[in-house]
Structures are given as structure tokens and as C-alpha cells.
């Protein structure tokens, strides 16, 4: 009973087979089919490799939402060099809530030489080249996000030579924590002092000839400090053409959450608009000489997530490539073969011409009418037999021999046709007994 059940199960599974196996004797191969197959396999291999490269690659997904966090502090990372001595300049932050942040808490003043060394100048030139490429190709920012923590540091390298030149500039670097509201970070003449109605700078003790707000921004960022991230103002250098020069930077800060396979951090991106002018009260250009960075916080938050293609999607795309190429090349090969067969058949039919065959004297056709092919065979055999009989000699003997020979040839031809019909019936019965699957039909048509 178990064997019978197993046999029934196997038979049932055979009936459900959608890919019937066609015997090799019924499969016809051709040079054109082999050429098309070679092209198809080459295309499949190439597209499979390209698809695997896409599967291994990742991309950045951007999502936007309203920033609901207004109570946390915003960190400002600063590294600016001003072409004035440290005792002449002061830096502080004043926000819209009239809250002044003391500069002594997080900022350091370091006397340095404003002119860069050859190595530092090469670093700045490379950083400016990257900035120009980022402004033209915005998609490069995704590459920077993915390579964060793995790329080299963007900080200015230390001076390699021990110059005896006295310091003529002041490097202001460090970080500050401010409220998440619009504010103004500025560097101007004189140290900042608190005032009941705001704040003030002691600029009266500094000579007007000492004013020089040429500056270089080595780094300016908001939020968590992430090595390898290049910000819009990194590498910026401005040279003042007048002692009363004002430089303004209008900055829009966008809170950003960065989630990659390397890091996960909360930082901020920003865009900037630059403006500069000379202070001339007589000409109506009022203001204070210095460097002013006015920033505003965006109400939208951006979440940047690194993603890659799922494995199941890779398999689906791979199956689509292989199946699509296989089906398309099969259809194109079938159409091309059909067209070639039509052209060749017309050429062959046009090469046949009707000819009249003279019959021997006294010959009488006692057979039934033959088909077109049999008529051609009769004409050929008649000419052949007439040649063997030597023209008009032995007419009586030739007539009997011709009749017997034609009967024998016709019988042989009928037997061959009958045998061919039986073989075709066997093939049709074998194919009809199997399920009509796509694979079996394609193999039979090849």
C-alpha cells in the first residue's frame, strides 16, 4: 500500500510538472540559435555584475519633519584667525532674547602668524577646491556623509617651520553653547563688557590704524563636531581693503540627524550668504567694523539615513533580468528565423520552372493521375527509363519494364509516407501526454 501511495504521489507530482523534459532526439539546434544564446548569456553576465554592484552600494535617504525641541542648547564650533593682535579684538554672542554668552567660557585666544606656511597653503587650496566641487555637485555631500570618521581630519595642520617672525594675528577657537533661537556671533574691536541695556566693546583704547579685519575661517559648524565633514565656510579667506571694513555672514541652520553604518549623531547643516561693505558715515554707510555672523534656526529637521537594497529585492531584480533577456532573445530569434524562412522559401519556389517532357512513341499511361510531386517523379523516371532502353528500340519490352519500375517506385514512396505519418503520430502522442509548460514549448520550437 505504501508503495502504491508513493507511486500515486510521484505520478501526481509528474502531472504537476510545469517544465516537461523533451527528449534530445526531438530538439533541433542551429548555428543562429547558438549565436543568440551566446549573446544572451554574455548580456546576462554583464547585467548581473552591474546589479550586484548596485546591491553592494548604499544611498542616503532624506526625511523632513518639524523640529519640536526648543529647550536644548545649540553648540557652535569656531576656529577663526583675525589679522589683529589678541588684545585688540573680542568675540561674543548675542541672541534675540538679549542674552550675552561670555567668550571666556569656551573660546581661546592664541597669537599666531596670519600668513600660512607652504604646507598650510596647500591644505587651504585643496579645501577650497573641494568647496567649489560641492557647490557644483550637491550629490558629493552624500559621499562625505558616508565617509565620515573614515576620512582624514579637515583641521588646519600645524605650522611645520619654526619662524622667528612675531605673531601678527589672533586665532579664536573653541566652542560655545547658545539657546536655539536666532543670534549674532561677532568679532570686533575691543573686549566685550556686560551692560544693563545690552553689551559694549572697549574700542576707544585701540588706534584706528590698527583695524584690520582680514580673516580666515578654518572651521565653523553647529552641533556635534564630526570629523571628516566639510562645512560651507571651511577654508574661507577674506582680505580687508579698508580699515573700516564690515564682513557679514547670514546663516540658516537646519537641525540634522545623521544615521549611517559608521556613525549616528545629531548635528546641523547650514547655508550662508556673504556680504561685505566699507563703513563710511559721511556717505550714509553706517555700522561697526568687524566680522558678524547672524544665524537663524530652521523649524524643520532633516533625518539623513544610509540605506541599501534588501536581499529579496536584489533576487527579484536578478530574476527579472535573466527571465526578460531569455524571453526577449527567444522571441527575436523566432521572428528572425521566421523571416529568413519566408525569404528562402520564396527564393526556392521562384527557382522552379515548368518544363515539358517528351514521352516515347507508343507509350500509354495506364495509371491513375498523380500529384504534382508524383508527376515530377514520373517525368524523371520516364526519361531515365527511356534512356536505358535506347530510344525507339525494344518498345514492347520497354513498355512492360517501365510499368513495373514505376509501380515499384510508387509503392516504395507510399511506404515511406506511411512510415513518416506513423512517426509523426507517435511524436504528437508523446507531446500531448506531457503538460504544456513554457520551458517544454520553447525547447520544442528551437
- Tens digit of each residue's pLDDT (9 = 90 or more) over 378-416: 555 555 554 444 444 444 444 555 566 666 777 777 777
Res 439: pLDDT: 41
Q: Exposed, middle or buried by CB within 10 Å (0-12, 13-18, 19+), for 192? A: buried
**The total number of structural domains that make up the chain:** 3
C-alpha cell at 242: 579698508
Is 272 found in the same domain as 396? no
73 and 55 in a single domain? The answer is no
Looking at the structure, tell me whether residues 246 and 284 fall in a common domain: yes
Give the pLDDT score at 392: 46
The answer to the question of residue 138 being in a domain is: yes
23 — alpha (psi -120 to 50), left (phi > 0) or beta?
beta
User: Quick one: average pLDDT of 307-320?
Assistant: 92
Other CB atoms within a 10 A radius of the CB of residue 92 amount to 22
Residues 106 and 242 in one domain: yes
* pLDDT for the residue numbered 21: 72
Q: Which of 67-76, 140-149, 277-286, 310-319 has the highest mean pLDDT?
A: 310-319
- Same domain? 34 vs 106: no
Question: Which pLDDT score, from 0 to 100, does residue 443 have?
Answer: 41
- Report the distance separating Cα 290 and Cα 245, nearest Å: 7
Nearby residues of 64 by Cβ (< 8 Å), 6 or more positions away: 300, 301, 302, 303
Question: Average of pLDDT values for 305-331?
Answer: 91
**Does residue 414 lie within any of the structural domains?**
yes
**Contact indicator for 263, 242 with CB cutoff of 8 Å:** no
Q: pLDDT value at position 441?
A: 41
Q: Could you tell me whether strands 100-101 and 192-195 are parallel, antiparallel, or unpaired per DSSP bridges?
A: unpaired
Least confident of 163-172, 249-258, 274-283, 430-439: 430-439
Residue 375 lies in a domain: yes
**pLDDT score of 65:** 92
Residue (of 351, 349, 357) closest to 382 by Cα position: 357
pLDDT at 389: 47
* Average pLDDT over all residues of the chain: 78
Which is nearest to 249 in space by CA: 221, 291, 309, 212?
Answer: 291
For range 29-45, the mean pLDDT: 87
Same domain, 135 and 275: yes
For 171, counting Cβ atoms within 10 Å of its Cβ (0-12 exposed, 13-18 middle, 19+ buried), the class is buried
Rounded to an integer, the average pLDDT of 412-423 is: 78
257 and 394 fall within a common domain: no
Query: Residue 254: is its pLDDT beyond 90?
Result: yes
Strands (DSSP E) contained in 22-88 are 58-66, 73-82
Q: Of the segments 28-32, 201-205, 387-391, which one has the largest average pLDDT value?
A: 28-32
Range 85-108 average pLDDT? 76
Query: From CA 255, how far away is CA 297, in angstroms rounded?
Result: 8
Report d(CA 446, CA 444) in Å as an integer: 6
Are 55 and 168 members of one domain? Answer: no
Give the pLDDT score at 358: 58
Q: 289 and 326: one domain?
A: no
Q: 358-365: long-range contacts (C-beta < 8 A, 24 or more apart)?
A: 360/386, 360/389, 360/391, 360/392, 360/395, 360/398, 361/392, 361/395, 362/395, 362/399, 363/399, 363/402, 364/399
Q: Are residues 118 and 224 in the same domain?
A: yes
> Cell triple for residue 55?
546591491
Domain extent for 404: 367-431
Beta carbons of 291 and 251 less than 8 angstroms apart: no
Q: Is there a contact between 310 and 318 (Cβ–Cβ < 8 Å)?
A: no
Q: Is 443 contained in some domain? A: no
pLDDT greater than 80 at residue 66: yes
Residue 440 lies in a domain: no
In this structure, is residue 20 part of a structural domain?
no
Judge whether 326 lies within some domain. yes
Rounded average pLDDT over 416-435: 73
More confident call, 373 vs 235: 235
Residue 146 has pLDDT above 80, yes or no: no
Are 244 and 334 within one domain? no
Q: Assign 307 to helix, strand or coil.
A: strand
Between 234 and 190, the more confident residue is 234
- Is 244 a residue whose pLDDT tops 80? yes
* pLDDT at residue 32, rounded to an integer: 79
Q: How do residues 345-356 score in pLDDT, each as one tens digit?
A: 766 555 555 555
Are residues 135 and 242 both part of a single domain?
Answer: yes
In a domain, 21, yes or no: no
**pTM for the whole structure:** 0.63
- Mean pLDDT on 130-151: 76
pLDDT at 159 over 60: yes
Do strands 215-223 and 198-201 pair parallel, antiparallel, or not at all (unpaired)?
unpaired
9-23, 62-76, 179-193, range with the lowest pLDDT: 9-23
**Winning range, highest mean pLDDT, from 11-20, 151-160, 272-281:** 272-281
pLDDT at 371: 47
> Residues of the chain with pLDDT > 70: what percent?
75
Amino acid at each position: 500500500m505504501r508503495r502504491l501511495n508513493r507511486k500515486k504521489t510521484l505520478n501526481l507530482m509528474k502531472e504537476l510538472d510545469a517544465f516537461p523534459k523533451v527528449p534530445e532526439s526531438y530538439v533541433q539546434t542551429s548555428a543562429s540559435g547558438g549565436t543568440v544564446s551566446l549573446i544572451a548569456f554574455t548580456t546576462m553576465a554583464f547585467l548581473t555584475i552591474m546589479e550586484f554592484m548596485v546591491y553592494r552600494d548604499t544611498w542616503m535617504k532624506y526625511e523632513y519633519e518639524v523640529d519640536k525641541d526648543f529647550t536644548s542648547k545649540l553648540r557652535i564650533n569656531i576656529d577663526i584667525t583675525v589679522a589683529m593682535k589678541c588684545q585688540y579684538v573680542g568675540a561674543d554672542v548675542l541672541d534675540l532674547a538679549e542674552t550675552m554668552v561670555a567668550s571666556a567660557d569656551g573660546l581661546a585666544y592664541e597669537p599666531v602668524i596670519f600668513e600660512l606656511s607652504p604646507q598650510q597653503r596647500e591644505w587651504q587650496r585643496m579645501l577650497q577646491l573641494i568647496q567649489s566641487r560641492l557647490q557644483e555637485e550637491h550629490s558629493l555631500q552624500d559621499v562625505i556623509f558616508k565617509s565620515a570618521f573614515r576620512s582624514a581630519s579637515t583641521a588646519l595642520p600645524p605650522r611645520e617651520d619654526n619662524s622667528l617672525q612675531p605673531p601678527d594675528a589672533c586665532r579664536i577657537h573653541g566652542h560655545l553653547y547658545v539657546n536655539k533661537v536666532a543670534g549674532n556671533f561677532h568679532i570686533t574691536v575691543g573686549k566685550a563688557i556686560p551692560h544693563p541695556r545690552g553689551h559694549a566693546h572697549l574700542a576707544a583704547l585701540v588706534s584706528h590704524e590698527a583695524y584690520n579685519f582680514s580673516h580666515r575661517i578654518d572651521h565653523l559648524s553647529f552641533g556635534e563636531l564630526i570629523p571628516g565633514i566639510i562645512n560651507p565656510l571651511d577654508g574661507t579667506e577674506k582680505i580687508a581693503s579698508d580699515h573700516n571694513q564690515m564682513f557679514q555672514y547670514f546663516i540658516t541652520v537646519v537641525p540634522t540627524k545623521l544615521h549611517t553604518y559608521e556613525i549616528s549623531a545629531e548635528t546641523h547643516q547650514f547655508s550662508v550668504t556673504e556680504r561685505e561693505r566699507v563703513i563710511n558715515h559721511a556717505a550714509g554707510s553706517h555700522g561697526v567694523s568687524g566680522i558678524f555672523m547672524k544665524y537663524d534656526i530652521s523649524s524643520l529637521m532633516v533625518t539623513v539615513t544610509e540605506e541599501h537594497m534588501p536581499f529579496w529585492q536584489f533576487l527579484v531584480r536578478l530574476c527579472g533580468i535573466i527571465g526578460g533577456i531569455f524571453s526577449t532573445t527567444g522571441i527575436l530569434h523566432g521572428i528572425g528565423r521566421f523571416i529568413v524562412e519566408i525569404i528562402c522559401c520564396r527564393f526556392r519556389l521562384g527557382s522552379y520552372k515548368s518544363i515539358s517532357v517528351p514521352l516515347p512513341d507508343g507509350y500509354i499511361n495506364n495509371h491513375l493521375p498523380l500529384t504534382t510531386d508524383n508527376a515530377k517523379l514520373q517525368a524523371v523516371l520516364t526519361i531515365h527509363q527511356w534512356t536505358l532502353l535506347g530510344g525507339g528500340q525494344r518498345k514492347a519490352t520497354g513498355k512492360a519494364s517501365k510499368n513495373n519500375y514505376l509501380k515499384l517506385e510508387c509503392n516504395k514512396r507510399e511506404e515511406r509516407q506511411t512510415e513518416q505519418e506513423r512517426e509523426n503520430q507517435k511524436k504528437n502522442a508523446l507531446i500531448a501526454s506531457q503538460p504544456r509548460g513554457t520551458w517544454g514549448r520553447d525547447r520544442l520550437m528551437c
